[in-house]
Chain A
Amino acid sequence: MSRAARTLLAFGAAAAALAGIPATLALGNGPAAPATAPATAPATAPATASSRIVGMRRLTEAQYRATIADVFGPDIKVAGRFEPIVRPAHELIASGARDAALSPAGLEQFDAMARGIAAQVFDAGHRAQFVPCVTPDDACARATLAPLGRLLWRRPMTAMELDAHVRMAGAAAKAAGSFDKGLELALAAMLVNPQFLYVVETAVPDASGALVLDDHARASRLSFTLWNTTPSEALLRAADAGDLRDPAKLQAIVRKMVDSPRFEAGVRAFFADMLLFERFDALSKDPLLFPYFNSAVAQAMPEQMLRTVTDHLLVRNGDYRQLFLTNRTFMTRALGGLYQVPVHKASGWEPYEFAPGDDRAGLLGQAGFLAMYSQTGRSSPTLRGRAVRELLLCQPVPDPPGNVNFTAVQDTANKAMPTARVRLTAHMTDENCSGCHKLTDPVGLGLERFDGIGSWRTTENGAAIDPAGKLDKLEFTGASGLGKLIAASEDAPICAASRALEYVRGRPSDDSGALVEALVKAFADDGYGIRGLFLKAMTAPDAWRVEEKPLQANTHVSLLVR
């Protein structure tokens, strides 16, 4: 059995266990054995009279890759450049995905990737797993494409859609002179279709007449939120059976999904979005000033943060608030240099525990956070303070005014102003600036014992660093002091809950006070466990509602003349 097939079987079994379906049943009809998959398709379009498309959320790069690995096996390579999804200010990329259009250059890349994937799927090494028949005819094309289409589009293809793809395969086979080539092009067409590149959310009226996501849209939302990948066979079956609109069955399914090891992928994606990890792609540090910074360190930084997060929240079932206090983390050799701690393993990760009272405790003492919110050549109390407020407490800090005057800020070479505290205090004498800097700088100044890449230091330009900080009216010392304040603050769990809801729905939660409150309560009842938070976010009936938007004409009129 190929690696891909093995993975698919394992996947199918896990998924079946989750949805409470006997494994054998799910396996028999799983993607590993497409021959017996249900090829019957409803004759109606997915959007029936009562159902409407209420949203289209573009797949992220991670979701695209995970989907391909799950459907076709992890040995299928995805080679190409993904058009970035624009992050709206103060929002998640999950919200940006709802706005994300595709540019011609972006689609060109998706097209190339689709053809690359399809060519591998039907090559000599793989085709047997996906082509369940011998005679190269339309019936065989149909039997091959129907189950793949169902997995890729996260719902059964309609008869019309399936017919179109079978015709496409036939025509292409004739033109290219090979049956497999025809299948390849039809599969590539599925992979470049908006039904694949976007998670299409369809909604139907519930008993009260309010619009709620329909069965298959629910399966997608559950799977992409919790596992960051396409719905499994088992989940699609649950959707087929209407289980996802039955509160008790939904509760059981979500419970199993958050208890599954695959929830880790969802938690990673959520925190990467919440903490703006795309910034790591562009992270650069001056090699002369920071000899400890290199590509191994740059790669390890976000991974260290995510390992800390998932270990604390999932492996240990920890309290979210304790994430800012925990002494536990993980190290690589490369990070050992930066942290100045011994690392035994020459390669890979090993657990590490800081001594009690170490200022490194919690996420805020991690090099990734400290380096990301620094300038290329030095630390930045302003950026760090702003990140703490905006990302962890959901307190937006205004942008600097347009006509800002920076004359009060002196250059770093000035001997009279050796430390950031002295320089920023000078800057704060300007009334126009002090309003916002009062929000950010006192928070960030408490982290000044970490330099531009998060290495420990006690002096800057020869002058001792004072690690005193202030968050609103509360004074603290160092990263661990700030961590304690965040952990004790009311805003931190509210912020996490509101972000989780935004992540689930792909839109900001500002207008959903009651729902956020309910989430915070569930979060608290679960001892601030991440599982409890997402369990509630995925089962609260209100979270499945969509607000009605009138169908209206295109608001943007292009000057385009065709």
Chain B
Amino acid sequence: MAFDLSRRTALKGLMRGAAVTVGLPLLDCFLDGNGVALAATGSQVPVRFGTWFWGLGVNPNRWFPSVAGKNYELKPELAPIRELQPKINVLGNFNVLLDGAPNLPHTSGGPAIRTGRALTADRGLPGESFDVTIGDRIGTRTRFRSLEVSAIGDPRNSLSGRGGGNLNPSETSPAGLYARIFGTGFKDPNSASFTPDPQVMARRSVLSAVAEQRQALDAAVGAADRQKLDQYYTAIRQLENQLDVELTRPEPLQACVVPRKAPPNVPVNGEIETVMLNHQMMTDLLVMALACDQTRVFNMMFNNGASSLTRIGSTVTHHQLTHEEVLDNKLGYQPEATYFLTKIMEAWVYFVKALDSVKEGDRTLLDNTLVFAHSETEFAKFHTIDNIPMMTAGSGGGRIHTGIYIDGQGTPVSRVGLTLQQAMGVAVDKWGTKSMETNRTLTELVA
């Protein structure tokens, strides 16, 4: 396809040129004009991006493939993805460089991957996370710019935000997530009738009036407060946008099947079976939110960095186990701690399969999505932050190659964030700060 050719050319230029600035119109055309594969109906299928996070890493020698390239080897802890392997990339040997900032255990790794910056104090995110940057690119036309979900049920369990005290809080229960997506304000794209709600129109103009009052405030504030105001007015615009969507007749979407009723109220706690169940219910809702085009960006947190997952009757959490359980000499790993990892990989497979089971034209929802999965440590026992396990699933509408193990050979982890942003159409040629600043795209990933 002509499109593929032009994009490849553009990205190669991006990679090989020393400091090439990519013009926005070029990238714009990928997305808005010709960028997205056309479905059988002739209407455009949106491209989505999301993240899937799990805490406490893996047992590296039982998870990472040994040899880079296609048809990578599946070691025991990675084996559950077998069926989906052709659609999943594994990324290893990328390093988090802190430039002398302390390695705050279970806290430094996640933000570094998501912002390309070292966390210097335990104070939220050190900068804008790249899922937000991508959301600004692809997520502005939906009701929700992004949806954040925590299966372990903690609103603070989030790595998404614009930095500076701003963290997108996570939905904490299936019922809450359902109400947010399919409650008041939801318009079924496949419904025959559509009448714009006059109340919504009135609200829309009120919000515009709130936004108009910005000038007076702006004139009087200092830098820190202006940043807060920026974020406030960004949020206001998103809210206006949400109302605009409610006022517009939605395009029919074949894959959209609205859940008939709200999920039951279920317990929310760290017990692993509860988290597995909540993760399933929340995944199902999120998948339909994507299929019904309510959002194009999401962040799913399975557990937290210092994982508080537990098994009923056990005196210790997943986190404590990784530190305190003795390495079983015969097995070569910590069996109790590894139990949780097995469950995590099971959940990841459920998540990817759920996306892959929704048909969109001749592709699946997964094919039109790019999911980036990562942890915050490599081997939790020692808090190592080099070689943190990462994966991608789906090709983002044919934007990246899949089924590859990519060996980063110790280069900065920010290369991953850079590449994924570029794949999603963000006009960025270099990303990260200090030692993590990079302009080196992962060429093997780019389709």
Interface residues of A (CB under 8 A from B): 45-47, 51-56, 81, 83-84, 86, 88-89, 96, 98-108, 111, 115, 158, 160-161, 164, 167-168, 171-172, 175-177, 181, 185-186, 188-189, 192-195, 197-198, 202, 282, 284, 286-289, 375-378, 399-407, 409-412, 452, 549-556, 558-562
Interface residues of B (CB under 8 A from A): 24, 102-105, 108, 121-124, 127-128, 133, 136-137, 144-148, 154-156, 161-169, 176, 198-199, 201-203, 205-207, 209-210, 212-213, 216-217, 219-232, 234-236, 238-239, 242, 269-270, 308, 310, 312-317, 320, 323-327, 381-385, 421, 426-428, 431
Nearest chain A residue, comparing its CB with the CB of B312: A288
Asked if B169 contacts A105 (CB within 8 A), the reply is: yes
B434 to chain A, nearest CB (A): 16
Asked if A403 contacts B384 (CB within 8 A), the reply is: yes
Contact A399/B232 with A86-B156, A167-B209, A561-B136 known, Cβ cut-off 8 Å:
no
Asked if B220 contacts A86 (CB within 8 A), the reply is: no
Question: Which 8 residue pairs spanning A and B have beta carbons closest together?
Answer: A402-B103, A377-B315, A99-B165, A47-B220, A101-B166, A89-B122, A107-B235, A175-B202
Query: Which residue from A552, A556, A560 sits with its C-beta under 8 Å from B163?
Result: A556
A413 to chain B, nearest CB (A): 9
**Best-buried of A84, A188, A409, A558 by chain B (most CB within 10 Å):** A558
Asked if A376 contacts B166 (CB within 8 A), the reply is: no
**Chain A residues within 8 Å of B427, by CB:** 561
Asked if A89 contacts B121 (CB within 8 A), the reply is: yes
**Chain B residues within 8 Å of A286, by CB:** 310, 312-315
**Chain B residues within 8 Å of A103, by CB:** 161-162, 166-169, 231, 235
B243 to chain A, nearest CB (A): 10
19 additional contacts (CB under 8 A) given A378-B315, A402-B102: A52-B220, A53-B222, A86-B123, A99-B224, A101-B231, A102-B231, A104-B238, A105-B168, A105-B169, A168-B209, A172-B203, A175-B201, A192-B210, A194-B229, A399-B102, A399-B105, A402-B108, A410-B324, A555-B223
Query: Which residue from B24, B168, B226, B320 sits with its C-beta under 8 Å from A104?
Result: B168
**Chain A residues within 8 Å of B315, by CB:** 286, 289, 375, 377-378, 412, 452
Contact A402/B320 with A377-B315, A554-B230 known, Cβ cut-off 8 Å:
no
Asked if A102 contacts B232 (CB within 8 A), the reply is: yes
Asked if B239 contacts A84 (CB within 8 A), the reply is: no
23 contacts between A and B (CB under 8 A): A45-B220, A47-B219, A53-B217, A83-B169, A88-B121, A102-B235, A103-B167, A108-B235, A164-B212, A172-B202, A172-B205, A286-B312, A289-B315, A376-B317, A377-B310, A378-B315, A401-B383, A406-B381, A410-B326, A556-B127, A556-B162, A559-B128, A559-B136
Asked if A81 contacts B168 (CB within 8 A), the reply is: no
Asked if A376 contacts B310 (CB within 8 A), the reply is: yes
**Chain A residues within 8 Å of B168, by CB:** 103-106
Asked if A104 contacts B155 (CB within 8 A), the reply is: no
**Chain B residues within 8 Å of A171, by CB:** 202, 205
Asked if B166 contacts A102 (CB within 8 A), the reply is: yes
Complex CA distance for A176 and B196, rounded to whole angstroms: 12
Nearest chain B residue, comparing its CB with the CB of A103: B168
Complex CA distance for A316 and B311, rounded to whole angstroms: 45
Nearest chain A residue, comparing its CB with the CB of B304: A282
Contact A185/B206 with A106-B169, A376-B270, A555-B223 known, Cβ cut-off 8 Å:
yes
Asked if A56 contacts B228 (CB within 8 A), the reply is: yes
Complex CA distance for A398 and B409, rounded to whole angstroms: 32
**Chain B residues within 8 Å of A197, by CB:** 232
Complex CA distance for A407 and B325, rounded to whole angstroms: 8
Complex CA distance for A425 and B176, rounded to whole angstroms: 46
**Chain A residues within 8 Å of B108, by CB:** 402
Query: Which residue from B201, B231, B308, B426 sits with its C-beta under 8 Å from A376?
Result: B308
Complex CA distance for A96 and B164, rounded to whole angstroms: 10
Complex CA distance for A562 and B24, rounded to whole angstroms: 11
Contact A53/B426 with A104-B239, A555-B227 known, Cβ cut-off 8 Å:
no
Asked if B133 contacts A559 (CB within 8 A), the reply is: yes
**Chain A residues within 8 Å of B316, by CB:** 375-378, 411-412
Complex CA distance for A158 and B163, rounded to whole angstroms: 32
**Chain B residues within 8 Å of A407, by CB:** 326-327
**Best-buried of B104, B105, B169, B317 by chain A (most CB within 10 Å):** B169
B292 to chain A, nearest CB (A): 18
Nearest chain B residue, comparing its CB with the CB of A48: B220
Asked if A53 contacts B225 (CB within 8 A), the reply is: yes
Complex CA distance for A185 and B216, rounded to whole angstroms: 21
**Chain B residues within 8 Å of A102, by CB:** 166, 228, 231-232, 235
Asked if A409 contacts B206 (CB within 8 A), the reply is: no
**Chain B residues within 8 Å of A193, by CB:** 210, 213
Q: By DSSP majority rule, is chain A's interface helix, strand, loop, or mixed?
A: loop
Complex CA distance for A452 and B428, rounded to whole angstroms: 50
**Chain A residues within 8 Å of B239, by CB:** 104, 107-108, 111
Complex CA distance for A377 and B316, rounded to whole angstroms: 5
**Chain B residues within 8 Å of A194, by CB:** 217, 228-229, 232
Asked if B124 contacts A86 (CB within 8 A), the reply is: yes
B129 to chain A, nearest CB (A): 11
Asked if A554 contacts B383 (CB within 8 A), the reply is: no
Asked if B383 contacts A404 (CB within 8 A), the reply is: yes
Asked if A56 contacts B221 (CB within 8 A), the reply is: yes
Asked if A403 contacts B220 (CB within 8 A), the reply is: no
Asked if A556 contacts B123 (CB within 8 A), the reply is: no
A168 to chain B, nearest CB (A): 5
A336 to chain B, nearest CB (A): 25
Asked if B426 contacts A411 (CB within 8 A), the reply is: no
B445 to chain A, nearest CB (A): 20
Complex CA distance for A406 and B238, rounded to whole angstroms: 47
Contact A88/B382 with A172-B202, A189-B210, A375-B320 known, Cβ cut-off 8 Å:
no
**Chain A residues within 8 Å of B198, by CB:** 175-177
Nearest chain B residue, comparing its CB with the CB of A85: B165
A384 to chain B, nearest CB (A): 15
Complex CA distance for A510 and B198, rounded to whole angstroms: 54
**Chain A residues within 8 Å of B219, by CB:** 47
Nearest chain B residue, comparing its CB with the CB of A423: B324
**Chain B residues within 8 Å of A288, by CB:** 312-313
Nearest chain A residue, comparing its CB with the CB of B223: A552
Nearest chain B residue, comparing its CB with the CB of A560: B136
Asked if A176 contacts B199 (CB within 8 A), the reply is: yes
A105 to chain B, nearest CB (A): 6
**Chain B residues within 8 Å of A452, by CB:** 315
Asked if B222 contacts A84 (CB within 8 A), the reply is: no
Asked if B202 contacts A181 (CB within 8 A), the reply is: yes
**Chain A residues within 8 Å of B165, by CB:** 86, 96, 99-101
**Chain B residues within 8 Å of A53, by CB:** 217, 220-222, 225
A196 to chain B, nearest CB (A): 11
Nearest chain B residue, comparing its CB with the CB of A90: B122
Asked if B199 contacts A84 (CB within 8 A), the reply is: no
Nearest chain A residue, comparing its CB with the CB of B208: A168
Asked if A399 contacts B104 (CB within 8 A), the reply is: yes
Contact A287/B312 with A107-B232, A107-B235 known, Cβ cut-off 8 Å:
yes
Complex CA distance for A186 and B165, rounded to whole angstroms: 29
**Chain B residues within 8 Å of A376, by CB:** 270, 308, 310, 316-317
A497 to chain B, nearest CB (A): 24
**Chain B residues within 8 Å of A411, by CB:** 316, 324-326
Nearest chain B residue, comparing its CB with the CB of A427: B324
Nearest chain B residue, comparing its CB with the CB of A52: B220
**Chain B residues within 8 Å of A554, by CB:** 223, 226-227, 230
Complex CA distance for A86 and B154, rounded to whole angstroms: 13
Complex CA distance for A318 and B63, rounded to whole angstroms: 59
Asked if B128 contacts A164 (CB within 8 A), the reply is: no
**Chain B residues within 8 Å of A175, by CB:** 198, 201-202, 205
Complex CA distance for A525 and B127, rounded to whole angstroms: 46
Query: Which residue from B199, B217, B222, B426 sits with its C-beta under 8 Å from A561?
Result: B426
Nearest chain A residue, comparing its CB with the CB of B384: A403
Complex CA distance for A194 and B233, rounded to whole angstroms: 9
Query: Which residue from A176, A551, A558 sits with its C-beta under 8 Å from B222?
Result: A551
Nearest chain B residue, comparing its CB with the CB of A106: B169
